[in-house]
Amino acid sequence: MRVVIAGGTGFIGKALCRELLIAGHEVMVLTRDPSRATARVPQGAGVTRWSPEQPEGLPQVLSDADAVVNLSGEGIAARRWTPEFKQRLVDSRVNSTRALVQAIQQAEPRPRVLVNASAVGIYGDRGEEELTEASPAGAGFLPDLAVRWEQAAEEARKVDVRVVKLRIGIVLGEEGGALQKMLLPFRFFVGGPFGSGQQWFPWIHLDDVTGITLHTLQSEAVDGTVNVVAPGIVRSGEFCKALGKVIKRPCWLPVPGFVLRLVAGELGETLLWSQRVIPQRATQMGYTFRYPQVEEALRAVLGAYA
C-alpha cells in the first residue's frame, strides 16, 4: 500500500514508518517542515509539506494514497494545562483532523481507509469498571477532547472511507513517551506509584501500537474503535514494582495526589485516574500481542538495565 502519515515524525509515527517500510509499503509523511522531517523519518520514507492552516495541494497528494494514518497532536504532558495550552491541544487534534478529512473528501480517487489516533483518556476516571470499545465516554476536558477528535475523523465516512479510531494507552518505548519521564525518579532511588497505586494502568508496548495499526490498515474487516492497550493490564503500584525490578531500583516512595495536583494542576489529576481498559476488539480481530505482560515489555524497552 501507499500510506500517508500525518504526525510521522513523532514517537509513534517514526516507529510506524519503520514498520511499514519493512513490510514493503510506501510511506509519505506530511509535515510543516520538510527539511527537518527528512532527517527524522526513516530512510525510504518520503516527505511533503502540509499544515492544517494551509491544506492546499493535499487532495492531490491523497489521491495517490491507499490509506491515511493521522497521529497529529501536541503532547498531552508537554507542559502545564493553561487555558492557552488546552486550546493548542484541541487545535492540534480536532482542527488538523478536520483539514485532513476535508482533503480526503476532495481527493479523486480517495484513500480507502483513515486510521485516526485517539486515546484511552476518552473514558475518564472509571475506578474498577471494565472498559471495552462499547463503553461510553467519561466527563471532563480529556474525554471531551477525544470525543471531538473522533467525531472529526468520522466525517470521512460520508464519502465511503473506512474509519478506524485507535484509543491508545500509555506507550512504552525506547525513544520517548511517558516511560522516559517515569524513569528519572527511579534513577535517583526515589521511584514510586502515583497516589494509592491502586489505579488501573492501561499500558502498551510501542511495537504493539505499530502492530495493531498495520493490522487495521490491512484488514478491511476492522472498522470503528480499537482499544490499543495490552491484555496484561496492571495497577499503577504493580507497574512501578515491575519497573523497579527491571532497572534494579527500589519502588518505595509514593507521590501523594495533592503533590501531583500542586505541581501539575489539572494534568496531575489525570495521573490519578483508574482506567481498566480491555483490548476486546484487538483480540477479536486475531491480533497476537508481542508483549502481553508488563515485565517482558519493560525488559524489551530497558534492555540496558535488565
Range of the domain at 131: 2-169+203-229+278-285
Angle between helix axes 294-301 and 236-247 (nearest 10 degrees) is 40
Q: How many domains does the chain have?
A: 1
Residue 177 in domain? no
Span 192-240, pLDDT tens digits: 888 999 999 999 999 999 999 999 999 999 999 999 999 999 999 999 9
Q: Is residue 113 part of a domain?
A: yes
In a domain, 36, yes or no: yes
* Structural domain contains residue 163: yes
- Residue 17 falls inside a structural domain: yes
Which residues are 202's β-sheet partners?
A: none
**Residue 261, C-beta contacts closer than 8 angstroms, at least 6 positions apart:** 268, 269
Residue type, 160: D
Q: What is the largest CA-CA distance in the chain?
A: 58
> Would you report the helix, strand and coil content of the chain in percent, each value rounded to 5?
45, 20, 40
**All three cell numbers of 31:** 509535515
pLDDT by 10s per residue, the chain, length 306: 999 999 999 999 999 999 999 999 999 999 989 988 988 899 999 999 998 888 789 999 999 999 999 999 998 888 889 999 999 999 999 999 999 999 999 999 999 999 999 999 999 999 999 999 999 999 999 999 999 999 999 999 999 999 999 999 999 998 778 888 888 888 888 888 889 999 999 999 999 999 999 999 999 999 999 999 999 999 999 999 999 999 999 998 888 887 778 777 888 889 899 999 999 999 999 999 999 999 999 999 998 665
Write the CATH number for 71. 3.40.50.720
Alpha helices in the chain (DSSP H): 11-22, 34-40, 58-62, 83-90, 96-106, 141-154, 178-187, 206-218, 236-247, 257-264, 266-270, 280-284, 294-301
* Cis peptide bond prior to 109, omega within 30° of 0: yes
299 within some domain: no
- Is 52 inside any structural domain? yes
Considering the domain boundaries, does residue 25 fall inside one? Answer: yes
Contact 271, 194 (CB under 8 A): yes
